[in-house]
Amino acid sequence: MNGRWERLSGLLSTHEKVVAVSISTALVMTGQGVVGPVLPLYARQFGVSIAAVGVVVAAFGLARLLLNMPLGYLSDRWGRRFLLVGGPLVVSASMVAAGLAGSITSLTVWRFFSGAGSAMYMTGALVYLTDVSTSGNRARLIGFNQGALLFGQSVGPGLGGLIAEQFGLRAPFFFIAGSTLIASIYGFFRLEETRPARVETSDAGALEQTPSAWRQLLTSPLFLVIALVNFAVFFTRSSTRGTLMPLVGVDVLGLSVGQLGAVLTAMAVINLVFLPTASTMADRLGRIKVITPSMIGTTIALAVLALSGDVTGFLVGAGLLALATSISGPAPAAFAADAVPAEMRGFSLGMFRTAGDLGLLVGPPVLGLIADAGGYGLAFGVNAAVVALATLVFVWVVRRP
């Protein structure tokens, strides 16, 4: 009886921690979504070119790319709360400064700091969830947090547009500052430290093992191949869903902005609806059995988009892409967490996120150049080839003894 009560108590404690970090995630991601529709317009007020506006937008992603791994390492040394509480605090302060910016240079600098705060929080949240989960429930717990992330991303843009219309383009930045400050205060009181006890050894004991552990990580086929999968996933998300599909829908197929928005929203809703099922499948069937069909389905969907020349083909490709990406859900993150030692989780998952952010940054310009040179069909085809290659490498590595 006592053993059963202890298991139940541990289960409730774990779920409470997951709910707590997911509430913070929803607050942080709602804030990030709020600024999406107004940032380009706000930057243009300084009388700069479209390219300069692009630099402002890219500064956020550049900070994440550069800082994911160092911050992950610091979470192994200083703990997870340092990132979970400090990240939203950095975002809050940088958003106040961005809302008061007097030049494009100042705005760019503070957007970089905002990206740094986002990297702190999102890396800390992933490591935190890995700490409190087991291999048997990890995908479901990460998936719950992803649901909070998708919720924040969904409601943020509409809320940001409404705030900007009522109070001006600077107002959304101050709204973000408030929501992320709440997330920081909430995390301070509700999120416990979860760093494994064996990391909290003397500096000598910890540092003696670090170089060999890093070498083992950087030469681990399983970890490297799941990082490649994450690169391909984010490469597709930023280039096809975020860049090529909107351009094709409006410029080639003649869809209105509202119709295009409805298509992209439907894709996001499909991802959100299938997330619980995908998370359960990843835990019960195994990560490999959901990642592989998801990657194959994504390749097929991209091929359909490459070959389609009308609205019907475009909608079929969009639907297939939404379904295919829904299948894997949190499985890649869970696979990465399974593949690394507990004492290296922060650094390892920071590297995993860096691979995704690299795909996020290089995808749009690379496929944009290909589309300019050879058309949208070729660009979709190259994206399909990238995903297919990642799939083949993944299957080859995981089938090895």
What is the model's pLDDT at position 12?
A: 43
pLDDT of residue 396 exceeding 90, the answer is yes
Q: What is the CA radius of gyration of the chain?
A: 21
- Here the tokens at position 34 are 């709020």
DSSP state string for 262-323: HHHHHHHHHHHHHHHHHHHHHHHT-SHHHHHHHHHHHHHHHHHHHH--SHHHHHHHHHHHHH
Cα–Cα distance, 124 to 353 (Å, whole number): 11
Q: Looking at residues 270-292, what average pLDDT do you find?
A: 88
pLDDT tens per residue across span 92-150: 999 999 999 888 899 889 989 988 998 888 888 888 888 887 777 887 888 888 788 87
What is the model's pLDDT at position 210?
A: 52
pLDDT tens per residue across span 219-235: 788 889 999 999 999 88
Side chain identity, residue 195: R
DSSP state string for 168-202: -TTHHHHHHHHHHHHHHHHHHHHPPP---GGGSS-
Query: What share of the chain has pLDDT > 70, as a percent?
Result: 87
Q: Helix, strand or coil for residue 49?
A: coil
Cα–Cα distance, 118 to 88 (Å, whole number): 7
Own/partner contacts of 109-112, CB < 8 Å, gap of 24 or more, are: 109/59, 111/39, 111/56, 111/57, 111/59, 111/60, 112/59, 112/60, 112/62, 112/63
Are 241 and 302 in contact, with CB atoms under 8 Å apart?
no
Cα–Cα distance, 347 to 215 (Å, whole number): 12
- Here the tokens at position 205 are 């004991």
- Here the tokens at position 342 are 């507990």
Domains and CATH numbers, the chain: 11-194 (1.20.1250.20), 215-398 (1.20.1250.20)
How many other CB atoms are there within 10 angstroms of residue 312's CB atom?
10
Tell me the average pLDDT of the chain: 81
Cα–Cα distance, 231 to 305 (Å, whole number): 20
- Here the tokens at position 386 are 């990238």
Cα–Cα distance, 143 to 149 (Å, whole number): 10
What is the model's pLDDT at position 81?
A: 87
pLDDT tens per residue across span 306-347: 998 889 999 999 999 999 998 888 889 888 888 877 777 777
pLDDT tens per residue across span 21-79: 888 888 787 777 777 667 777 887 888 775 677 677 778 878 888 888 788 778 878 88
Q: For residue 268, give Cα distances in angstroms to 41, 149, 271, 313.
A: 24, 12, 5, 19
- Here the tokens at position 351 are 């590297």
Cα–Cα distance, 121 to 92 (Å, whole number): 12
How many other CB atoms are there within 10 angstroms of residue 196's CB atom?
12
